[in-house]
Every structure is written in structure tokens, then in C-alpha cells.
Structure 1
């Protein structure tokens, strides 16, 4: 007999007229009233203290489905009476239903009960024993993930606004998780039969993608619906005034940065904003002058480095440590531009201390250097409040800081909305170039995002995701932290983790072991590539943990723990 918190569970009854997410429709009475009910077998709640109550409920429902106790098309109980029987809050049951709907186990349709997905066999095929094949769920949610032994992209190719196609070039566009009742589109390369016999199901631990399943809220749908109904109108090159106004309000609340709508330009993300800036600075140079020299953190994020080199700039490596850019070693032969990640250094995770920030700004003012603040995930901070932006210390009129902002981490890279804030003179020159090139963000997207920001839902969504990501970060620390010889660098925020191994571990062998275990990870050494050699041996991995559903993440971490134990010399002693 299954138990809940150590005691037997009774047979539970549910309202057959439950609405979406298990809520009762009008006229459905509480337990004990004379209405038709649906009996289901006892719920197997796993006695796992590492799981939250919603996770345990969801896992128990999966077990009922996998065992055949619940079949496709069967209604599930309404959330309120079920929560009463379990002795938990209704929100816990609702959260479990939402997770199961995102995974394709449940299907909700307005005006009818929430049911086990009638197309469940297409999403989660069964073997002859009636249990789900290992890995089937992950393949259904990510049907285009290639085999990990395939050539992996450069780290960062799948993140920070990069297109899913760039992240998995061999597989084509990455599919979103299926909506309830929907059959996911399959890719020919995603079938289990394409893997070698006995090969593990691929799990993509590449950084640094956010979870996007929680976006489907009423505020999100309403914003896009209203944008689709709006009459298209010409937009100024800087972007819709209403959107710029909402972004400045958002920055005031979330980042402590006070600017006016005229201080910023709407962009298609951080890379597009950087390209606009560099093209402007290059156009300002004398005809036939030298290429721009762009200082970059080493280690640092590869994506913006590639933008600079693609536009003909010369990279100048600048040392970074666990606290960010090392400002007392800035060169006298200063570059034209310096790109920094002061709020959350990528990938090491440090935050630039206030004394280094002031030293950087003083050096930049003295040498007429433009400081580009890449503010990519500063709002996803788990310890304390988000730090003030570097631009908050700068003069908005005659200053040196240009802030690149993006919503790819808090919302989704696919939305393609960001902004750039620059001092007055530089912004005016950037606007002149934008008038020639045009704004790359469509009016529909700008209108929808304006409504989403105005509703306040983005702040609420960010708070929810911070809680979810913090829980997943804690899982990473709990599983990988105790491995002998392995160091998981402190993670005060963000969507990735850096796992360091002893310097005598061969990083290539580590990557090979991960591929053999079906894991896609990014080697730590690549974050120096294109900038400078490593100042000292530092081997390891950079992994993402935000975008995977909980069971897939747990499986991936368990495999990675075994890999680290097998390759670490200290672990073998």
C-alpha cells in the first residue's frame, strides 16, 4: 500500500466536471454532495525528502499513469477536494497539475474535466510491461536533441539570445515543450532507433537557457492577443515610446537605474545592441583608420566576442578572477571599448566590488574608453537583491557606460527584445545609424511586450523563476558538491554552474566521458578561447540547469556525478 507522509492513503474521488488545471466548474459540489465522482487508485507519493510536495504529487500521478492505473482520457480529481484528502494546500496540487500538463501527461480543455492526455501514447510510448521507457519523456519534450557524441557548438551558441538552430545545427530548430493535448513535431534524427543500441538517452546540460514553460499565463496571452488586434502604426527608430517608458520603469524597480525613455533604444537583444554600438564607433573613426580594439574579460562570454570579431574588431584580453574584471591590471594602452559583466561575471559568477567599479570608471574616463555593461541576467539573483547597474554610478550625459540589456534570460531568447542605454552624445549618433538600418523588432512584438511589462507580470514571473532556479541550483550543489576533488563555484545567481576539477585532469577525456554518458556540456577552457591563454590550469565544465524538467535534471546530475567520480584523480584514491 502506498503512503502519504508515512500513513496509508484512502481512495480519492474527483469532480468529473473539473476545469483547467483541475479546478471545479460552477455547479460541481464539494466532497460528500450527491454528484457523480471518479474513483482512482491510491496515489503513490514517493517518500523523498529532496522533493517538494508538488514534485511528489506529480511523480505519484506519473506512477499511476505508467502502471496503467490511469489511462488516456481518464479524468483526474479536482484540485480542492484532492488537496483536502492529501492534507496539503490546493496550490501544491495545482502546481503539480501544471507540471504534468507541461510534460504532456494531462490535457485541460475549457468546459470539461482535466484528463490524462488522450494522446499520451504518442508523447510517452510504453513498452510491453506498461512502464515508460527510460528517457522517453526527455525525448518527447526535446525531440530534436542530437546525440551528444556529435560535434558540440561553441559554448554560448545556444544561449544569451542565440537561436535554437545555432545551438543544435545538426538537428534543426529546437521544439518547444508540447502543450496539453498536442502531439509534438518529431524530427527524423530524434528517434531512439537513431542511437546506438544501449546508448543512454541524450541530456542537454549546455548552458544557459531559461525555462519557458511558466510563461503561459493569462497576462502573457492577453498581451499577445491585444497586440495582434492592434492596428499597425509606424514606429520611431528608437522603438515604441510606450515600450521605452515601461522598460525605464522596470529598470527603476528592478535595477535601481533611473533613466528617461529618451535615454534608451529598443534592440533585438544584447548582440544586436553591441553591433549597433560598434558600427557607430567605427563610423566615427577617421576614414581608413584602424580597426576598433575591444577589451574582453578572460575568461568571458564567447557570444559578444564573436560579434566584435565579425565586425572586424581586434580583441584585447583583460584578466578576470572570481570577483570579476581585475581593474588594477588594466593596460595603459587602453582599447577603444571594454565589455564587462559586473553584476554576474560569466562564467565564474563573481560580482564586481564597488572599489573595482569606481576604479574601472575612473580609468575609462581618463583614457576615453567606452565601457559596455553586459547586464544579461542580473535580475536572477538568489542571494540578496539584484545589484545596482554599473550605469547607476555613471553620468548619463557625459559618462562612459553603455548598458546592454536583454530579456532573453527572464523571458525567452525567442522573443528577441532588449535595449541599449548610452550617454547623450553617443546615443544620438547610434540613433542616426538606427534611422538608416531600421529597428529590427517588429511592432507586434513591441506592443505585446509593452502590455506584458505594464501588467507587472514580468516582475512576478521573475520572482517565481528565481525561486525555481534557486531550488535547481541547490540540487546541483547537493549532488555534485560532495564529489571528492570537485569544486562547484559559488552560484549567487544565473542559469549555469561551473564545475572545476583538479588541474591534472585531462579536459578532453572529461568531455569524452560526458559524451559516453549521454551528456552535452561545455568545457571550461573554451571561455578563454579567442581572447587569451589561461593564466593557470583550470579544467572543468560549465553546465546549465534551468531549462530541464526536474526528472531529467536529476538523471543528468546523477550521470555527471558518476563521470566526475571516474575521472577525478582524488576520487580514485
Structure 2
């Protein structure tokens, strides 16, 4: 147990005070890696507050990767840089321990550390001036609405342009009425548990996106991990399970990068139709494909209203803009139309107005073309560097789309040791272990690591790969 002392007066809301205190405790080592956090009920009794701010703080911590949910056990601290943040450490600092930490917990690349972070984007490509212009115009053009609450489902203008964009780019068939604008993936997954309260048995990919899995767990769902093949989620296992809903990332499975072929998509849709079940299709980086033609979205192939489509602006524009969208089947939307005010909570109206103008004036499409070309170039550069310096010692998979690759290292060594060797020479790579519910590496299986490329220029990538060649003895 750890102590939380809330000030009598604070400029921050209660949930943010809790979030900040726990986050700082994790960062500085007061709350050690692996410690179980108190349950919502226990913390509620300790602090004598309602459970809502505690649940909100816990959701923020899970969404940022500071804690992980273990089914039927609770929330546990997960700090991949525990040796960097623990203030009691006495040994001589390595290159990683001397590096400065960003506010999001990642190492500051300006200090000489090369971070192949799978979630980070190129910060220089964000159109700062254009976005500032959109915000200014939004305030000026909507001044008469500043004293009013907006549509809890999202501004109709934004839903209209999103519906049109999805139809043209991903083959998603929808009307603006089916679009729900949300404040991030964690919000949207929590919303779906309220929209579908009777569906408690949820199948998830193993490994899969831990943020989504944790949200389901926090909302009392029974999680059924389904293993993966090179064609995505195992449909044999899914069909033999008692799942009522399945969460999949078919266009670029996270984290392995596999793509679900067309026949498997048809079979998955048939499963949902036969079982009267639902599919959540998370198309989190569907804009980035480097080989072949994109396979149509599951939602576009669905003729029975069984697919809930989820997408985000984060991978194209910036993760700091907490805005995403869902496309709900018409019957499901009708089912909850009488309680929209209780279910939906849209993000800032000003940012929604700005995003609408960003679409309508063509900036979104120009920006996509720009970053798609940039990331395609960096994707090819990283693969060429790996083949040149690491060659026969590794195998690259999951490289057809997205912003990261999976690297199979053909050495009799654990992923932990490879990560540590890399850190010793100032390079950060990932095994994304928290993406597994039940991680058990086969003794005969080579370690798998994950490397992002969106935030690195060619010089840093080459330096990083050459350092890995040395650290992993692949000369």
C-alpha cells in the first residue's frame, strides 16, 4: 500500500490530482515496478471520495502505459525504465540513466539515445501554423455558440466529413448519424461496454493492444485471449469459444503486423452473423500501407450490421490531440438513441470545429500525402539498414504497413538481454511484453522485438542499427 495525500485546496480536479500523484510515484520509484495498485473500492474507502475520479485516474494511467490490468487480479505498475527512475539506485549511471526523461516517460532523444519507439511520430511534420489558423477561425466563426453545449455524439459537421473520408479511403459505408466522435481509444472502448452491457465475453488478440484489453477488464468484462497466426486471429479458436464480441486489428495487427486476408475476413463476418455477435475493427493506422493494394475494411464487407469500426486522428496528425471516432451499426445506434446524453461525451467543440475546417479546406488530405511519403521512405530505409548490418541474423515481419516492424532475432538469447545490450550502447528497442495476457516464450522460439521508424531520420536510424550490430555481436 502507498500513501496518497490530497491537498485541501487545489486548482486541479480530483481525478487529475490522483493521476499525477500515482504517476509521479511510479516515475521516481516510490511505487515500484510490479506493485499491485489498491482496488477502486479500497482507495475509495481510504480517501473517502466517490469512485468516479479514481476510475478516471486509473483509466488515464492504463492508457499511458503506467499500469497494466491482469484479469481477475487487478492493476499492476509496469515501468519499463524502472532502473532509470528509481531514485535509490547507487551504481554508476549508464548512458540510459544519464538521459533526460520526457513528460510521457520516454527517453529524450536529444541526449544521444536513439529510441525506436513504435508509437512516436515525426514531430516536425505536424502543421503547427495551419492548425493554429484552424483554431483561430473556429473561435471567430463560432463565437455565437460559445455559451452552448454541443452534440454529445460529436459536431455534425465533423461527423459528415469523417463519414465521407472513410467511404473514399477505407470503403467504410456510413452516414454522419452513425459516427461517434470520442476523446481517445480508452474512452471509446469504455463507451462500447456501456452501449453493449450484456456482452461480457470478449475475445481479444494474443498478443494484442493492452490499452483496449485493460479498458474491457476495468469495465467487468471476461477476456478470452485468442492466439494469432500469420493470417491474424485464430478463427478456429474463436469459433470454439463462447465469445459474444471480438476485438481485432485486421489491417495491421498490433503488435505483430500481420494482415488478415480477404477469405478470413469473410469467415470472421460469418461467425459474427451466425452467433449474433459483434466485431470491433480497430483500423488504427490504416492510412499507411507500403506494399500491394489495401484490403477493404471489414465494415465495408459487412451486410448485416455486425461490425463496429474504430479509427483515430492520432497516427496521421498527432497523439496529443485526443480525438477519435467510432462507426456504429444503425441498429445499435437506434438501440441507444434515447440515452445519448448519458452515453456520449464528445471532446472539445473548438477542436472539433478546427478539425472540420482542416478537412474541408483540404489540409487533412495534403498532410496525409506528406506523412505517407515521409514514412514510406523511412520504412524502406530502416529495412535496408537492417538487411545491410544485421542480415542473416534477423528476420523482418509485419513490414507491409503501419509505423513499426517486428524483428525476429536468430540468436539463443532472451529478448530482455537483447534489450539491455541495446540500452547499454544507447539504443532503445521493445519486446512489448505487456501486449500479452499470458506471455510464455517457447524455449525453441527466437526472441521478437519491435522497432518504430516514424520519428527517426536516416542518420539516426543508421547509427542505431550499427550500434545494435555491435551490441548483439552480429559483425
Scaled by the length of structure 2, the TM-score of the pair is 0.73
Q: CA shift at 1:538, angstroms?
A: 4.5
Query: Structure 2 vs 1, CA of residues 365 and 389 (structure 1 numbering), >3 Å: closer, same or farther?
Result: same
Structure 1 counterpart of 2:374, from 468, 481, 491:
468
Q: Spell out the pairing of 1:201-212 with structure 2 (5 A cutoff).
A: 201-212=112-123
4+ runs of 1 displaced by more than 6 Å? Answer: 164-172
Instruction: Answer whether contact 2:231 2:264 (CA < 8 A) is retained.
Output: no
- Alpha-carbon distance in structure 2 between the residues aligned to 1:506 and 1:165: 23
* Aligned equivalent of 1:60: none
The correspondence for 1:228, drawn from 139, 161, 177, is 139
TM-superposed CA distance for 1:481, in Å, is 2.2
Verify the 8 A CA contact 2:422 2:468 in the aligned structure 1: yes
Structure 1 residue 257 and structure 2 residue 192: aligned?
no
- Secondary structure class of the residue paired with 1:405: strand
Residues 505-546 of structure 1 deviation map (CA, whole Å, 9 limit, x = unaligned): 22221121122122222115543x215645772412111110
More moved, 375-384 vs 500-509: 500-509
Are 1:509 and 2:417 counterparts? Answer: yes
Of the candidates 239, 259, 279, which is equivalent to residue 154 of structure 2?
239
Gaps of 5+ in 2: 1-26, 35-61, 68-78, 86-97, 102-110
Post-superposition CA distance 1:310-366 (Å, at most 9, x none): 222221111212221222332333212100011111122122111100101111111
Q: Matches of 1:465 and 1:377 in 2, distance apart?
A: 12
Name the structure 1 match of 2:323: 417
Does residue 294 of the first structure (1) align with residue 294 of the second (2)? no
1:401 equivalenced with 2:401 (yes/no): no
Partner SS for 1:481: helix
The answer to whether the aligner puts 1:337 opposite 2:248 as a matched pair is no
Residue in 2 that maps onto 1:190: 100
Match of 2:54? Answer: none
- Structure 2 counterpart SS, 1:274: helix
- Quote how far apart the aligned CAs of 1:217 are: 5.9
* Superposition TM-score, scaled by structure 1 size: 0.61
**Unaligned regions of 5+ residues in structure 1, if any?**
1-145, 154-160, 173-187, 192-199, 286-290
**Separation in 2 of the partners of 1:210 and 1:511?**
21
In the alignment, which residue of structure 1 is the partner of 2:104? Answer: none
What is the alpha-carbon root mean square deviation over aligned residues? 3.2
* Structure 1 partner of 2:445: 537
Partner SS state of residue 402, structure 1? strand
Distance 1:190 1:209, change over 3 A: closer
Distance 1:518 1:431, change over 3 A: farther
Q: Which deviations, in whole Å up to 9, do the C-alpha atoms of 1:78-118 show, x marking residues without a partner?
A: xxxxxxxxxxxxxxxxxxxxxxxxxxxxxxxxxxxxxxxxx
CA distance, structure 2, for counterparts of residue 220 and residue 391 of structure 1: 30
Paired with 1:394 and 1:274, the residues of 2 have a C-alpha distance of 21
For these two proteins, the number of residue pairs brought into alignment is 382
Q: Distance in 2 between matches of 1:531 and 1:367?
A: 27
Larger radius of gyration: 1
Q: What is the SS of the residue equivalent to 1:320?
A: strand
The verdict on how the C-alpha distance between 1:520 and 1:410 changes in structure 2, with shifts beyond 3 A counting, is same
- Taking structure 1 as reference, are residues 382 and 431 closer, same or farther at Cα in structure 2, changes over 3 Å only? farther
